[in-house]
Each structure stands twice: as C-alpha cells, then as structure tokens.
Structure 1
Amino acid sequence: MAFGARILKTGMAVTLALYLSVLFQFSSPVGAGIAAIFALQPSIYRSWRYFLDQIQTSTIGAVVALLGGMLLSNEPIAVGLVCILVLMLSMKMNRADTVGLTLVTVISVMEASGQWEFALTRFLLTLVGIFSAFIINIAVFPPKPREQYIQQIENVFNSLSLLLRTAVSHEMKESVFRDEKNALAGSIKALADKYNLFEEEQKKLRRAKYSQSRQLVVYKTLLESLQKGYGVLDAIDRHYFQAERSEETDALFDRHLEKLIKYHELVLLKFEDKLKPGGSELEPWVNDNDSFLESAIRGYDPEKTGQLRLSVVATAIFEYGYQLERLDKVAERMNRPAGEDKE
C-alpha cells in the first residue's frame, strides 16, 4: 500500500477541519471534514482557484437550497430538483470541478427546510473544510510539481528504454511486456496531466516570465519525446511481428532502436548538464535516422506479407528519432545563457 504526501495531507486537513469546528462550537463537524476531503488539490495554484470557485458555487448553492427548503420543504423530489438547478448553474459558470461539494452543501442546507440559522451553520462548515485543506496544502509538504515532473521523466524513460530494447528481439514474455506497456501508458498519461497543470498556471498568470515560458517548452518537448517512443512500442506491438522479415531486418530495426535509446539518454544527460562539452554531437544522429528510413523502405515489395506493416513501424521509429533531434536542439538552447537565446 502506497503512503504519500497527499494521503498524509488529506488526514491532516480532515483533522484540522474537525478541530476548528469544535473550536467554533459547531454542533455537527462532519460536514467540515467532508469539505476538506473534496478541497485538497494537486498544486497551490489549483488550491487557491478551488477555494475561490467553491466559495462562489457553495454560496449560490446554499441560497438556492435555502429558498428551495422554504418553498418546497425537504421532500426527496424537492431536493433532487434543487440539485439539478444548482448543477445547471454551476455548469453555466464553468465550475464543474466544484459541483460535488456544492451538492453536498445543498443537501445539508435543505435538510433544515428553510431554517436560515441551520443553513448558515452548514455553509460555514463547508468553508471551514475548504480553508483547512488550503492551509494544509500550502503549509505541509507544499506541492513541487516541477521537481516531481523531472523525476517522473527519468522513471518513464527507464521503463521506455527497457521495453524498446527488448521489443524487436522479443526477449520479454508477452504477458509481462503487455503489463509493462500498459503501466508505461498510464505513467505517460500522468505526465501529460501534470504538463497541463503547468500550462494552466502559466495561462492564468497575467505576465509569465520569459524563463517560465522557456521552461514550459522544455517540459512539452520532453513529454512529446516519450510519447513518440511509446508510439514506436505500440507500432511494434501491432504490426512488426505480423510482417514477413529477415534476420537482417530484425538486426536493422534492433540496432537503430538501440542507437535512438542511447541518443535519448545522452540528451537527458545534457539537460542535467552532466555531459562534457561536445559529448553529444547532433549531426551523426540525424544522418543515422535518415539512413535507417532509407534502408527500411529499400526494396519495398507490396507482394510480400506485411510489408506495409513494416513501413508503419519504420515511420514511427523515424518520427521518434526526429523528435529526439528537436529535444537535442532544445537542450542546446537551455545550456546557453537566457539572454543569448531571447530574441
């Protein structure tokens, strides 16, 4: 069972919410604990946005629920109708991510059947829970998505490297290969979600610094390189072994994949500034990639079984190599002083 910072912070947020509820002498502090669970977010920026958005939607939900309770009582059909109305309002306001906790507030308030003191207490409990989660998120192990992203890049590359090195040689058990490939797909999806988080933060900033914009380009290029590598794995899995091929073909594909993996590894080291000057030259890798594609499609014969499939795999490998060339150029620019790169 995995135990991480998010699990710890969730428990601490619930604890703080319950203690604050007792301190303010609320009769039933459970609502604050529920709100704290919903409100914990993966970044400080999202915590702040969620805090503001949730206050808006919870206020609207509490008011509508209070009116609904006064006019319609707390019959189940009335509660359902009010929930539908609040849900529609939240969607109209583009606050879909806050609807869960907002509906909890609505149901709690309608339980009072129009008693505004009780409704106010329920609303304040929700705010206490949101506030507790926000405070814990910024005070205890604050999220460091950029450091986590780089670490995830390294871990995903290690998994990708292993699978690409054994894909053509077919040395890994098929069941193990599929499991590892599915796990890799999930890891790349998690990376893409984290990149979207960075992009969201930068778009919301009124004036993003040039260094932040450049860093975002780096993150995107790193992600795209891994995605292209996974595309090679997928192409091999779908097409390579269904094609008629010789030992020389296997050797050609296997050898070039090994070169690209090595190239990918060197470029990642270049990002970390661990290579000696001139330790990774771009031009030889470019020539190798072009030569591979020419060799792979040379003598293409549509009459042979699965030749088109081999072309699909060769194209995926070439695109992976081309993406690594782009990554290498970005690494070169990153190693220059910012003033030299800015136009």
Structure 2
Amino acid sequence: MKLGARMLKTGLAVAIALYAASLLGFPSPVFAGIAAIFAIQPSIYRSFQTILEQFQANIIGVGVAMLVVFTLGNDPFVIGFTAILVIGICMYLKMSETTVSLALVAVIAIMESTEMTFVTFAMMRFSALTLGIFSAFLVNLLFLPPKYETKLFQRVDRTTADILQWLRITTRHLSDEPALKGEIKRIQTELRQIDQTYLLFSEERTYLRKNHLSKARKLIVFRQLIATTKKSFDVLKAFHQLDEKIESIPTKFPTALVEELDKVIHSHERLLLSSMGRIKKKHKQTLQDISEPDIPNLVEELIQVYRQDEDNHLIFLPLASQLMEYHHNLQHLQILLKSYQQYHEDEHLEFMKRD
C-alpha cells in the first residue's frame, strides 16, 4: 500500500494540533488530535466546504452536553442519551457522518468527570477540538495540495490501456476465462475510482479568471474520455459474453470484425496520445486523418449473418449496439479534442508516467 498525500497530511495535522494544544496548556491535547483526524479532507474546496459544518457540530455537541450535565448530570446512561440526541440534531441538519462523529467526540469530551470548574473545563475542551479542526484546515490549505487532474488522467490512461489490451486478446479468442473474469471486476472498481477522482477534480477551484474557461473545457474533455473508456469496457464485456458464439460464425466475418475493431482501438489510442501531447504536430497524422472504421457496415454484416437463423438472429444485437455507441463516443471525443487543441494550442492534459 502506498503512503498517499492524505495520510501524510493527517499525520501532520495531528502533530500540529497536539503540539499547539500542549503549548497553549490544554489539559487533554489528545482531543485536538482526534478533531484533526476527522477534519482532514481530500481537497481544498472540501476543506472550505466542511470547516463551518464541523465548527457547528462542535458547538452543538458542546452546547447539548453542557445543558445535559447541568440538568441530568454525567451518568454513563445520560451520556448515551445525549449522544442519541446529538445524532438526531445533526441528522435533522443533514450533516455528514464525519461531522456527526466529531459532534459525538465533543459530547464525550465535555461530559467526562472533572474536578475543575465545569464551565472552564468545557471551554478548554471546546477550544481543543476547535484547534484540531483549524489545524487540519491549515494543513489542507498549505501542504501537499492534491493534483487531481494528474491523478485522473493517470487512472484513465492506465484503465483504458488495460481494456484495449484485453479487447485485442479477447477478439482473437486468446483470453483466459478466469483471468478475464477477475480483470472485469478489477476494471469495474477502477472505473468507480475514476468517477470519484473526476468529482474531486471538478470541485477544485481556479483563482485566476483566465483559467476558468480552460478548466471548463478540460472538464468536458475528461468527461468524454471517461465515457469513451466506459464504452470500450462495455464492448469488452459484450465480447466476453459472446465469445463462444463468435467462434461459430463463418471465418470471413470474425476476420473482418477483428480488423475493424483494431481500427477502433487504434483510434482510441491515438486520441489518448494526442491529448497528452505525445504526437509531434508537424509529422503526426492529425486527428482528422485517423483511419475511420466502418462500424455501421460491420454491424449490418453482423445482423445478416444470423438473419436466417430464427433462434439466434438477435443474439448479436447487444454487441452491435455497443460497437456503434463506442464508435460514436470516439467521434465525439475527437471533436472535443480538436476544439480544445484549437483554443489551447500550447496546452495538453496533465499526466504522470506509468509505474
């Protein structure tokens, strides 16, 4: 398991919170560290978004706990009742699970038995929790800012390469069934992670007005890159489900199928390389010159193969549909990339080298 930026930021936020709480003389600096753990967020935008909510949860937890202590005391069953009450309030206000957890930490911290004056004790615990929240916010703001554009393109590039590789193998009936089954499950997980990374990238804010339009166009290109990758995965799954049936088709058609699909895969790869800026502008085949696979004709031939077979004439329609949609997504991606390169000639999508 790799040591990610969020892990490092969590450790740093805890250390800063504990050190600051000790310097300020709080009796239990550990609560500042606990609050820092709950307050760490995966992006700067989410830090801004949640700090107010977490501060409100801290106030709710402390306020309710103080009220209950003054009226009912701090018996363990009373603490449990207070926790239920605070959860209900937070749920009514539609706070996140992490925020609710922080409010519960505040309840337990305040309702602990103490020999100090209760109000002084409560204020010190409240201050320690608040210190932890702001320590995490400071770390999120200043240290190791995430580059979700880079992470997103890396994930899309790697996952697309895996899918296209398996497509080449599967269409030639060379894939191992158990291995492909496992890869399909893994790729599904990767696609969910890609969606989450895209969401985090879309939430990142640009602070210069001139970068707003570029960011908006990048989001559109990335969304289509992801859609095209997902559609290539749908084609892979369709081939996997129909592998044995395709083997029974007359030899001429499977050969044409492989040739046309290779063209589609080649188009997809060239679009990815072009988006990275890896193809020289003067000597490359431009996006307009990418060889066009004749998918509509191929689909028509596919339907003709089983037109006379009443039992099987519809079995290849899902594959035909997926091939057409894949081809249309590639065409749309090509248009978007041409537009992006036209308006941002010296820019390309940020990526990292594969491991």
The TM-score normalised by the length of structure 1 is 0.87
Matched, 1:247 2:247: no
1:306 to partner: Cα distance? 4.6
Bigger helix fraction: 1
- In structure 2, the partner of 1:168 is 171
- Superposed CA deviations along residues 245-297 of structure 1, whole A, max 9, x for unmatched, are 34344333333332221111111122233333671455875562222222222
Letter in 2 for 1:327: L
Give distance in 2, aligned partners of 1:69 and 1:251. Answer: 79
User: Secondary structure in 1 aligned to 2:16?
Assistant: helix
* Unpaired runs of at least 5, structure 2: 346-355
Letter in 2 for 1:110: M
- In structure 1, the partner of 2:349 is none
Q: CA RMSD in A?
A: 2.9
Number of positions where the alignment pairs a residue of Structure 1 with one of Structure 2:
338
Residue 138 of structure 2 is aligned with which of 92, 113, 135? Answer: 135
Contact 1:168 1:254 in 2 (8 A): yes
* Unpaired runs of at least 5, structure 1: none
Give distance in 2, aligned partners of 1:304 and 1:73. Answer: 79
- Superposed CA deviations along residues 191-223 of structure 1, whole A, max 9, x for unmatched, are 1012222334569x9999333222221121111
Change in CA separation of 1:236 and 1:80 when aligned onto 2, cut-off 3 Å: farther
Contact 1:62 1:123 in 2 (8 A): yes
Contact 2:41 2:140 in 1 (8 A): yes
Contact 2:9 2:139 in 1 (8 A): yes
1:143 to partner: Cα distance? 0.9
The 10-residue stretch of structure 1 (228-237 or 283-292) with the greater mean CA deviation from structure 2: 283-292
User: Secondary structure in 2 aligned to 1:309?
Assistant: coil
1:62 to partner: Cα distance? 1.5
Matched, 1:117 2:123: no
Give distance in 1, aligned partners of 2:77 and 2:259. Answer: 67
Contact 1:267 1:280 in 2 (8 A): no
Matched, 1:232 2:235: yes
Q: How does 1:55-70 map to 2 (within 5 A)?
A: 55-70=55-70
Contact 1:242 1:306 in 2 (8 A): no
- In structure 2, the partner of 1:292 is 298
The 10-residue stretch of structure 1 (320-329 or 235-244) with the greater mean CA deviation from structure 2: 235-244
The 10-residue stretch of structure 1 (326-335 or 249-258) with the greater mean CA deviation from structure 2: 249-258
Q: How does 1:261-276 map to 2 (within 5 A)?
A: 261-275=265-279, 276=281
Give distance in 2, aligned partners of 1:289 and 1:112. Answer: 74
Contact 1:240 1:309 in 2 (8 A): no
Matched, 1:44 2:44: yes
1:323 to partner: Cα distance? 0.5
- In structure 1, the partner of 2:351 is none
Q: How does 1:145-184 map to 2 (within 5 A)?
A: 145-184=148-187
- In structure 1, the partner of 2:331 is 325
Letter in 2 for 1:155: R
- In structure 1, the partner of 2:318 is 312
Give distance in 2, aligned partners of 1:37 and 1:90. Answer: 19
Q: Which has the higher contact order (CA 8 A, sep 6+)?
A: 2
- In structure 2, the partner of 1:88 is 88
Contact 1:163 1:181 in 2 (8 A): no
Change in CA separation of 1:269 and 1:295 when aligned onto 2, cut-off 3 Å: same
Change in CA separation of 1:247 and 1:30 when aligned onto 2, cut-off 3 Å: farther
Identity of aligned residues (%): 33
User: Secondary structure in 1 aligned to 2:315?
Assistant: helix
Give distance in 2, aligned partners of 1:47 and 1:136. Answer: 10
The 10-residue stretch of structure 1 (293-302 or 30-39) with the greater mean CA deviation from structure 2: 293-302
Contact 1:240 1:310 in 2 (8 A): no
The TM-score normalised by the length of structure 2 is 0.84
Give distance in 2, aligned partners of 1:87 and 1:53. Answer: 14
- Superposed CA deviations along residues 50-99 of structure 1, whole A, max 9, x for unmatched, are 22221112112211122122223233443333223322322333322422
Contact 2:57 2:103 in 1 (8 A): yes
Give distance in 1, aligned partners of 2:81 and 2:28. Answer: 26
Give distance in 1, aligned partners of 2:205 and 2:6. Answer: 23
- In structure 1, the partner of 2:28 is 28
Letter in 1 for 2:20: L
Change in CA separation of 1:287 and 1:177 when aligned onto 2, cut-off 3 Å: closer
1:190 to partner: Cα distance? 0.9
Letter in 2 for 1:318: M
Change in CA separation of 1:272 and 1:235 when aligned onto 2, cut-off 3 Å: same
1:24 to partner: Cα distance? 1.3
- Superposed CA deviations along residues 124-146 of structure 1, whole A, max 9, x for unmatched, are 22222222222222332211111
